[in-house]
Chains A and B, each alone.
Chain A
Amino acid sequence: MDMSYDVAVIGAGVVGALVARELTKLNIRVALLEKRNDVAMGATKANSAIVHGGFDAKPGTLKAKLNVEGTALMPLVCNELNVPFGNNGSLVLGFDEEDMETLRSLLARAAENNVPGVRIIDREELLEMEPNIAKEAVGALVSATAGIVCPYELTIAAVENAVENGLSFIRNCEVQGIDFADSEFVLHTTLGDIRSQFVVNAAGAYAGDIARMIGDESVRIQPRLGEYYLLDRAVGLTVTHTVFQCPGKMGKGILVSPTVDGNLLIGPTALDMEEFDNVATTAEGLEKVKILATKSVPSVSAKNAITSFAGLRAHPLNDDFIIDYSPVNRRFIHAAGIESPGLSASPAIAKYVRSLLLGIAGDLQSRNDFDPVRRKPVRFRALNDKQREELIAQNRAYGRIVCRCEMITEGEIVDAIHAPAGARDVDGVKRRTRAGMGRCQGGFCGSKVVEILARELNVPLNEITKFGGGSDILYDKTK
């Protein structure tokens, strides 16, 4: 295989996806290379799913600038991509005078960072706003522009839209070495050599490894583990705002937040790790989440947990996003060290990388045929009976409900598999359709999804994996 592109983006997390989409708006050939079997398999898959107001980042940093810009762009991008965005606002709780002092300094920072809609409220207004908050809270900082979005849904939609506009998405493509000669990079990958004029390094936790492949030692990432519980929809409305405690050295602390899907998310912890790919939860971490979350919202209970999970943030040792030309080769652009508020900033990061590319590649033409709108996928659950009837009349597969907890039809699963950059494994179907995300966690529909994947991809059942690689579900045939 010999492939050549103008720009190769390495890593299909939310940053790589939005960067690739942004660059596809230009009249150039763009490839998005992902080493896993799907998009959104790293930090993007497991984080707090929060769009921050932008008052937390240190003024003058890229984090501050791109957070505020990204948060302003997020509703527009979500609208184009037909991804749910909830502008629920956030609260930082203060429990004593020291906390209130911190809130006042955050308020001052908000002004410096040009964050609109931030103010401090007293206990009375707080309890009126959120009656389930701990009675010990004495006040809070409100941020009106903050919101919630599903990070992997955003990523899936962005890649889908970009592929429809001509992006080459290449999965199971791990970059193992990079050479540069004759003003061109040669990326040695598990799928063969790929040539590209420019490279964007959006490899998340592995961005340092990718940088070292061109002799660049400047990207230094510390993996930092965060553990979460996801609670049942039954308690999804316990709070409407995203509720933080006062930030500390290791991050913004434990939050309690609704999700766009109506669940309640509690977490994360913050634990520096030696390894880059260990996302196992720990008994201690989960215990900590339980205890600290009840400080904000006493009624929150892990008894309502549907699942627990952990994610790795790519913490940059210099404490700021690393989005710049590589000091070794300016045709190599880093979009690395993207920890919180990375999701919030991601639409702005995409534009920033585009401007960096234009800065080195010269005046690239914008396309006039780029369609920014991603068609809304069918969501049977959200339709009324008349719409459902019409849908089944069009395609009978929408009349077969596969996942009963979330009411997901076979038609939606088939759509997810055949979408641009579609699902290839059980978890991919789950992220695209929610099949298996309900209270039975795939107990009934898991095997059905395996069958549908095998049928649609025309492979035997035992070739279907949970999430690619060696995550085999079935072995040999029975005796």
Chain B
Amino acid sequence: MVVIGGGPAGLAAALRARDCGVKRIVVLERADTLGGILEQCIHTGFGLHYFGEELSGPEYAHRFIELLQKTDITVMTDTMVIGIDKNRVVTAVSPEHGLMKIEAKAVVLAMGCRERPRGALAIAGSRPAGIMTAGTAQKYVNLDGYMPGKKVVILGSGDIGLIMARRMTLEGAEVKMVCELMPFSGGLTRNIVQCLDDFNIPLRLSCTVIKTHGRERLEGVTVANVNERFEVVPGTEEFVECDTLLLSVGLIPENELTKELGIALDSVTGGPIVDEMRQTEFEGVFACGNVLQVHDLVDYVTLEAQLAGEGAANYILGNNQAEKVYVRPECGLGVRYLVPQKINIKNHRDVKLYFRVNAIYKNARVVLEVDGTVISNKRKVKLAPGEMEDVLLKAEVLAAMREDSRVLVRVDV
């Protein structure tokens, strides 16, 4: 089994596959250490669900790295995968091993995601230094030990942006505001409270940056309010002096290798279409973590990766190769996407359906319906697009389903 990516997803998938009896496993990681993006997430808040305690990013990663080191799973760091062919031959390069071809029975895609850059936004104005993604700033501050700015405006209220608002403040920078184009934040509520409210950093909703100023280093930005159609409201333009603009405007699953294999992607998640074991539409290729869907919490990445690891193990060992009959759960009102996108009803096990809602809902209900019958109806005080939600489809419900059964998840207001 070849695992591409040694972040939280890759680590958990490799470990679970080993527990399931896969003998020869290799984890390929492009950085020189395992742990992925967690290595630069030195704040706490990781592991509350999975370990029942609050860990920093590196601590969370190291729980798994230590377990991995006790096994004989091969780890290759400083190794970049540059291709996979139709026979699941993985091509990778590293300074130490040169160009390698690895024949895999199963491949687990765990490449994570990347941050949406400025170019996609086409903000008018100059192109000085001082404009970067929040994640790049996080690396400079937490790993390199340098400050990328002193007076900061953050565009986008994704979690990394919120975390960096607090981090830059603690390091002595002045964070002037966080501007969010949408009328709600895409980040976790707890991050808005702990990273903005606690530091009196204003969150300006329905607001965006329309222009950058400064020739060499950024000298300021023009911000403005937008209407429901995201058009600038004339007269609301305001110049804000700053030397740094951090972008936290979305994460994009890193699926270039996936596309190369011709694997179908979900147009909403940007990740591959998978079944309940996280197998993609290419047999023997599995996906988990942020390459599959952008997660809010790493704890859920771990759970998802364990499913992929088990699925890959079953595939390699020839277990559960009985007939497969898929149903495709449907997104009802308020539901943007569902993962997994298809469920094998012959695989009699509980399946959690993960999703995100399309707007903020208060005192709403999450309804799961099978063939018109309400299976579960859970009241939620608040549903927000920034948080991943899930509903459980129990094994016994699954067992009673037919191939033309319809599964629907919706939000009832």
Binding site for B on A (CB under 8 A): 229-230, 277-283, 285-286, 302, 305-309, 385, 388-389, 392-393, 396-397, 399-401, 404-405, 407, 410, 439-444, 446-447, 451, 461-462, 465-467, 469-479
Chain B residues with CB under 8 Å of A280's CB are: 124-126, 211-213
Inter-chain pairs besides A401-B82, A441-B118, A478-B171, 15 sampled, C-beta below 8 Å? A278-B126, A280-B124, A280-B125, A307-B119, A443-B136, A444-B114, A461-B144, A462-B146, A467-B129, A470-B216, A470-B217, A471-B216, A471-B217, A478-B145, A479-B172
Chain A residues with CB under 8 Å of B133's CB are: 443
Chain A residues with CB under 8 Å of B95's CB are: 392, 396-397, 399-400, 410
Within 8 A of A (CB), among B123-167: 124-130, 132-133, 135-136, 139-141, 144-150
B117 located at the interface, meaning its Cβ lies under 8 Å from any Cβ of chain A in the complex: yes
Chain B residues with CB under 8 Å of A282's CB are: 124
B93 located at the interface, meaning its Cβ lies under 8 Å from any Cβ of chain A in the complex: yes
A397 to B93, CA, bound (A): 11
B99 located at the interface, meaning its Cβ lies under 8 Å from any Cβ of chain A in the complex: yes
> Chain A residue with minimal CB distance to B99?
A389
Find out whether the CB atom of B98 lies under 8 angstroms from the CB atom of A477. no
30 residue pairs bridging A and B, Cβ less than 8 Å apart: A277-B215, A282-B124, A283-B211, A306-B117, A307-B118, A308-B119, A308-B122, A392-B93, A393-B98, A399-B98, A399-B99, A400-B78, A400-B95, A401-B80, A405-B256, A441-B117, A441-B118, A443-B114, A444-B114, A451-B144, A465-B129, A471-B217, A472-B216, A472-B217, A473-B130, A473-B148, A474-B144, A475-B147, A476-B146, A478-B141
What are the nearest 8 A-B pairs in CB distance? A441-B117, A470-B216, A307-B119, A396-B95, A466-B129, A471-B129, A399-B95, A474-B146
> Chain B residue with minimal CB distance to A380?
B93
Find out whether the CB atom of A475 lies under 8 angstroms from the CB atom of B93. no
Chain A residues with CB under 8 Å of B141's CB are: 478
Find out whether the CB atom of B122 lies under 8 angstroms from the CB atom of A469. no
> Chain A residue with minimal CB distance to B118?
A441
A305 to B150, CA, bound (A): 30
Chain B residues with CB under 8 Å of A446's CB are: 132, 136
Find out whether the CB atom of A461 lies under 8 angstroms from the CB atom of B94. no
Find out whether the CB atom of A283 lies under 8 angstroms from the CB atom of B117. no
Chain A residues with CB under 8 Å of B132's CB are: 443, 446
Interface centre among A309, A439, A462, A478 (most CB of B within 10 A): A478
Partner of B98, one of A389, A404, A469, A470: A389
Find out whether the CB atom of A478 lies under 8 angstroms from the CB atom of B128. no
Partner of A473, one of B98, B115, B129: B129
A308 to B93, CA, bound (A): 33
A401 to B93, CA, bound (A): 8
Find out whether the CB atom of A478 lies under 8 angstroms from the CB atom of B147. yes
Chain A residues with CB under 8 Å of B240's CB are: none
Chain A residues with CB under 8 Å of B149's CB are: 475
A392-B98 contact in complex given A401-B30, A471-B128, C-beta closer than 8 Å: yes
Find out whether the CB atom of A388 lies under 8 angstroms from the CB atom of B129. no
Chain B residues with CB under 8 Å of A230's CB are: 119
Find out whether the CB atom of B99 lies under 8 angstroms from the CB atom of A392. yes
Chain B residues with CB under 8 Å of A461's CB are: 144, 146
B6: min CB distance to chain A, Å: 15
Find out whether the CB atom of A385 lies under 8 angstroms from the CB atom of B91. yes
Find out whether the CB atom of B30 lies under 8 angstroms from the CB atom of A404. yes
Chain A residues with CB under 8 Å of B198's CB are: none
A278 to B256, CA, bound (A): 37
> Chain B residue with minimal CB distance to A234?
B259
Chain B residues with CB under 8 Å of A279's CB are: 126-127
Partner of A302, one of B115, B122, B215: B122
Within 8 A of A (CB), among B87-122: 91, 93-99, 101, 114-115, 117-120, 122
A475 to B173, CA, bound (A): 11
Find out whether the CB atom of A479 lies under 8 angstroms from the CB atom of B171. yes
B210 located at the interface, meaning its Cβ lies under 8 Å from any Cβ of chain A in the complex: yes
A431 to B210, CA, bound (A): 27
Chain B residues with CB under 8 Å of A474's CB are: 140, 144, 146-148
B244: min CB distance to chain A, Å: 9
Find out whether the CB atom of A407 lies under 8 angstroms from the CB atom of B118. no
> Chain A residue with minimal CB distance to B216?
A470
B139: min CB distance to chain A, Å: 5
Find out whether the CB atom of A477 lies under 8 angstroms from the CB atom of B91. no
B265: min CB distance to chain A, Å: 13
A471 to B97, CA, bound (A): 38
A90 to B196, CA, bound (A): 54
Find out whether the CB atom of A404 lies under 8 angstroms from the CB atom of B80. yes
A443-B147 contact in complex given A280-B125, A392-B98, C-beta closer than 8 Å: no
Interface centre among A307, A404, A443, A477 (most CB of B within 10 A): A443
A469 to B101, CA, bound (A): 45
A479 to B145, CA, bound (A): 8
Find out whether the CB atom of A305 lies under 8 angstroms from the CB atom of B120. yes
Find out whether the CB atom of A385 lies under 8 angstroms from the CB atom of B99. yes
Partner of B82, one of A393, A407, A462: A407
Report B239-250 CB contacts with A as 1/0, cut-off 8 Å.
Answer: 000000000000
A282 to B125, CA, bound (A): 6
Chain A residues with CB under 8 Å of B98's CB are: 389, 392-393, 399
A278 to B139, CA, bound (A): 31
A475 to B140, CA, bound (A): 10
A286 to B94, CA, bound (A): 42
B150: min CB distance to chain A, Å: 6
A310 to B124, CA, bound (A): 10
A281-B146 contact in complex given A396-B95, A396-B96, A399-B98, C-beta closer than 8 Å: no
> Chain A residue with minimal CB distance to B171?
A478
Partner of A443, one of B93, B135, B140, B148: B135
Chain B residues with CB under 8 Å of A477's CB are: 145-147
Partner of A469, one of B114, B145, B216: B216
Partner of B124, one of A286, A401, A407: A286
Chain B residues with CB under 8 Å of A286's CB are: 122, 124
Chain B residues with CB under 8 Å of A388's CB are: 93, 99
Chain A residues with CB under 8 Å of B120's CB are: 305-306
B82: min CB distance to chain A, Å: 7
A475-B124 contact in complex given A400-B95, A404-B80, A407-B82, C-beta closer than 8 Å: no
Interface centre among B122, B141, B172 (most CB of A within 10 A): B122
Partner of A475, one of B91, B117, B126, B146: B146
A277 to B146, CA, bound (A): 30
Find out whether the CB atom of B119 lies under 8 angstroms from the CB atom of A281. no
A388 to B82, CA, bound (A): 12
B366: min CB distance to chain A, Å: 32
Report B314-331 CB contacts with A as 1/0, cut-off 8 Å.
Answer: 000000000000000000
A173 to B216, CA, bound (A): 17
A388 to B97, CA, bound (A): 12
A297 to B210, CA, bound (A): 27
Find out whether the CB atom of B119 lies under 8 angstroms from the CB atom of A306. yes
A341 to B7, CA, bound (A): 51
B267: min CB distance to chain A, Å: 13
